[in-house]
Chain A
Amino acid sequence: MSKKFSLPDFWKALTIIIILVFAVFLVYPLLSLFLSSFRDPETGGWTFDNFVKFFSRRFYYTALWNSFLVTGCVTVLTVLIGIPMAYFMTSFKIRGKTALEILIIISMMSPAFIGAYSWVLLGGRNGVITKFLSGLFGIQTPSIYGFGGILLVFTLKLYPFIYMYASGALKKIDVSLGEAAESLGCGSVRKVATIIVPLITPTILAGALLVFMNALADFGTPMLIGEGYRTMPVLIYSEFIGEVGGSANFAASMATIMVFITAIMFIGQKHFVNKKSYTMSALRPIQPKEITGLKSIFVHAFLFIIIGLSIIPQLTVIYTSFLNTNQAIFLPGFSLVSYKMIFSNLGSAIRNTYLFGLIAILLIVLLGLFIAYLSVRRRNFFTGIIDSLTMFPYIIPGSVLGITLLLAFNDEPLILSGTAFIIIISLVIRRLPYTLRSSSAILYQISPSIEEASISLGASPVKTFFRITAVMMLPGVLSGAILSWITVINELSSSVILYTAGTRTMSVAVYQEVVRASYGTAAALATILTATTVISLILFYKLTGKKEVNV
């Protein structure tokens, strides 16, 4: 019998390779960032000056305060919208429920900066609504720019996270818990307060953290609609890109501060959820009840208005893309001018998006498959390290990751800046978690005895992995990969730092076109992105047969 690969060698080799990859492309860059935040921009010597500068100048530390303020408000608002929405959708029979759920997911999956941009189209200085109201009634609409605009865009984009988390938690509550409370003498309001709310709280907190992190890290929205309202990602970006005498070291120190904050929040939440989460499964889940009269009108109005508002950006963008336009000026009538323009001028951006995206997804699928297997089936110290390393993308904002990679790889020994490779690396690191999580989840459901059966029948363990385990994991891997894919093609905050003329992607191009006020072409590009997203979502539903997306 010949023995090409014995099992320990294969998995050990894989463990080492994966650790090396993470060490080179994640740990080393993060360390460089951390170290460079303690260096003087001029002399290169060790110093605390960057941090002192940040906390002593109002111009800088207000950005941190601004970030917290807007993010905090967004989190509260999304919770206030998301929980009742989930409660209504699970407890009552809602008209058009399936359609509403799909709209919620579409608004969640499309990038925030597209929302920002179309709210500018609608309510900005030259916006449709602004002009309509002032022209007809002379009404001055409140400015869409600044704090209010960021809040609006983030809230409408992020409440779906809370909605999804809360619905998931509500579905796990068995009706008998509520009935037990009732049989002990509990009325319906107290039932919600003493049983249902405490049971979903840990899940809501996890969702709220996700919202917080997303809002804190987002770069495109405050950039496009924030105007004077500077938040941390904006500040880091402008300091790093350095049009006005910025410094990479100072940007690095701000990035370090951000990572520090997000890491603390992440660890705190993990700690709380671990202590306070209940394993529940519902034999009899809550059944939606018929509602009538005022109650029904109120509930439906609430749902339709919020979901309607959150889908407006997509509709606006699609509509705008078909308008007749001459650069920034919209002409009367419809045409395909914008599409002609993007295909002749920005074809490379479209090609890059799909090309980089596909390569990234391929790597994500492979890594997801292997890492899930290592950390579920072959637990040891080293696979434990890999497991922890895969948590990093949760706490590193996109723009920070961009800076990190750029700082690490624009110098000897490894010069990667300006290449497609560095963009693909950032996409893989940022979007691996979706695939990894769904891969591990499905692996937990596959009994190890299936693998043992295959081995006992004479297949080598490695062969067993590829012939049996990997094949059985495929549905889980692919459903995660589609979510990774959707977020990959819509990625802006790291790409906008890493791109060069040749490696520009669609989302970067949309951003640039908006900045140049070329709204027609921006809309056409964004429409292509949205269409790709919707098609991918449909694929996801078909593939998983599910009606939910696990975020």
Chain B
Amino acid sequence: MSVAIGIDNVVKRYGNTTIIPGLSLDIKNGEFFTLLGPSGCGKTTLLRMIAGFNSIENGVISFDGNPINAIPANRRNIGMVFQNYAIFPHMTVRENIEYGLKLRKIPKDQIRGRVNEILALVRIGEYQDRLPERLSGGQQQRVALARAIVIHPSVLLMDEPLSNLDAKLRVEMRDVIRNVQRKVGITTVYVTHDQEEALVVSDRIAVMKQGVIQQVGKPQDIYARPTNGFVSTFIGHSNLFTAVVSGPRTVRFANGCSLEVPDLTSGSEGRNVVVAVRPEEFSVQEGAGITAKITGSTFLGKYVNYTLSFPDEVIVPGQPSIEYTQNLGNCEKLFETGQEISLRPNPLKINVLTEDMEQSLIRGVQKYV
């Protein structure tokens, strides 16, 4: 019932500006797939092309191999959750949810059954006879979700569904959405600009920038092995160091510290590179690392997050901040602001990028997984 989505080289233009210059993706049946990217990169545009509200200038979108370009939105059998929910204000909660079923001419008793089931699933049974204006944001969100999935759509599309909620509700609804999706097992395309949200809910993530896919993969892979500088800094934090490949599988930082990186691709000796190190990928080793000065700290319970300053020649200029996260589980000595420490990056975890940060020099890192 749920389908795989094929997006083959699609193009979107508004007038003379090309928003999406030829984008391809394969979304598997039943998976929770997230489009992640900064605001304005074209996520909504792509989602609405799948939904049928935006025309497709070029390329093909298909469901289970059947092109759907020519099928109007109301025949695509799509469940869509809108950013502003788009609950019909003149219908009660129940009427909102029944709406799509009635259009499908489903017998009355079946409608009742299916609506009851879904009301229970998203836990809004007690509000079923209310008008939407008397519901809170989280409740409206549940109605929108119920209305979209009750029709057993081929795919579920969601455009920043949590962006209108407060922080606490966001976390709660995130789990609701994830659980409901698992239970129903429906192919889902989810749009967000919030990387943390994407990492938590998704089976796979596509990171987008200016209408172009940067990387597709599982959350942990994208985090651990980003394909380029954009992905490594957009998802999670990365500290960027300048270095050279000084020998086989070896990088040397500007202060002279060398590391053997077993996953470095061969044949790049002598190249200038950028090394991306996440805040938790440092260890304190006197004399064996890069010297940094602590400029501030935030105590987070299990962790302490320090901001650092390095000598200019060691780091890539223009970074918002350089950070080191100390795990208090295995080290209880806290550092003072102003103190100098020597930090050694973990060679198994760090990423090595070309000097322009457009490509990864780590073996086996792929753009599309």
Contacts and interface: CB of A to CB of B under 8 A. Distances in A.
Interface stretch (A179-187, A335-343, A372-380): A179-187
Contact of A184 (B53, B100, B131): B100
Given A195-B88, A278-B133, A280-B89, A181 B99 contact: yes
A199 B74 contact: no
A183 B88 contact: no
A201 to B, nearest CB: 8
A40 interface: no
B84 A179 contact: no
B90 interface: yes
B86 A185 contact: no
A278 B74 contact: no
A187 B80 contact: no
A278 B83 CA distance: 19
A180 B151 contact: no
A283 B147 contact: no
Interface in B71-116: 72-80, 82-84, 86, 88-90, 99-100, 103-104
A186 B157 CA distance: 17
B114 to A, nearest CB: 13
Contacts of A280: 89
A172 to B, nearest CB: 10
B149 to A, nearest CB: 11
Given A190-B103, A278-B90, A183 B84 contact: no
A177 B88 contact: yes
B131 to A, nearest CB: 8
Interface in A385-435: none
Q: Which of A179, A186, A187, A195 has the most CB of B within 10 A?
A: A179
Contacts of A184: 74, 79, 99-100, 103, 147-148, 151
Contact of B80 (A180, A194, A283): A180
B51 interface: yes
A279 B90 CA distance: 10
A174 B84 contact: yes
Nearest to B101: A184
A369 B337 CA distance: 61
Given A183-B78, A184-B100, A177 B86 contact: yes
Among B72, B77, B80, find the residue whose CB has the most chain A CB atoms closer than 10 A.
Answer: B80
Contacts of A183: 51-52, 73-74, 76, 78-80, 148, 157
B89 A182 contact: no
B103 A185 contact: yes
B89 A180 contact: no
- Residue with the greatest number of chain B CB neighbours at <10 A, chosen from A174, A176, A278: A176
Nearest to B51: A183
Given A174-B84, A278-B133, A185 B77 contact: yes
Contacts of A182: 52-53, 72-74
Interface string A280-293: 10010000000000
A179 B86 CA distance: 9
Contact of B82 (A180, A186, A195): A180
Nearest to B79: A183
Contact of A179 (B73, B99, B133): B73
Interface residues of A, number: 22
Contacts of B79: 183-184
Most central of B72, B78, B88, B104 by chain A CB within 10 Å: B88
B84 A187 contact: no
B86 A174 contact: yes
Given A179-B73, A199-B89, A280-B89, A185 B82 contact: no
Contacts of A347: none
Interface in A62-121: none
A180 B148 CA distance: 9
B133 A279 contact: yes
A176 B82 contact: yes
A502 interface: no
A275 to B, nearest CB: 10
A179 B89 contact: no
A183 to B, nearest CB: 4
Contacts of A176: 82-84, 86
Interface in A136-186: 174, 176-177, 179-186
A198 B52 CA distance: 25
Contacts of A190: 103
A278 B96 CA distance: 15
Contacts of B104: 185
Contacts of B88: 177, 180-181, 195, 199
A181 B148 CA distance: 10
Nearest to A177: B86
Contacts of B78: 183
A187 B82 contact: no
A183 B147 CA distance: 11
A179 B90 contact: no
B37 to A, nearest CB: 21
Task: Report which residue of B52, B77, B88, B90 has the largest number of chain A beta carbons within 10 angstroms of its beta carbon.
Answer: B90
A11 to B, nearest CB: 34
A486 B93 CA distance: 46
A182 B78 CA distance: 9
B70 to A, nearest CB: 15
A184 to B, nearest CB: 3
Contacts of B51: 179, 183
Interface in B234-283: none
A199 B90 contact: yes
Given A185-B75, A187-B74, A179 B53 contact: yes
A179 B80 contact: yes
Given A179-B73, A183-B73, A184-B100, A198 B147 contact: no
A182 B74 CA distance: 4
Given A180-B80, A185-B103, A186-B100, 9 more contacts: A176-B82, A182-B74, A183-B51, A183-B76, A183-B148, A186-B74, A187-B74, A199-B89, A283-B84
30 contacts: A174-B84, A176-B83, A177-B86, A179-B73, A179-B82, A179-B86, A180-B86, A180-B147, A181-B74, A182-B52, A182-B53, A182-B73, A182-B74, A183-B73, A183-B74, A183-B79, A183-B80, A183-B148, A183-B157, A184-B74, A184-B151, A185-B100, A187-B74, A195-B88, A199-B90, A278-B131, A278-B133, A279-B89, A279-B133, A280-B89
Interface of A: 174, 176-177, 179-187, 190, 194-195, 198-199, 276, 278-280, 283
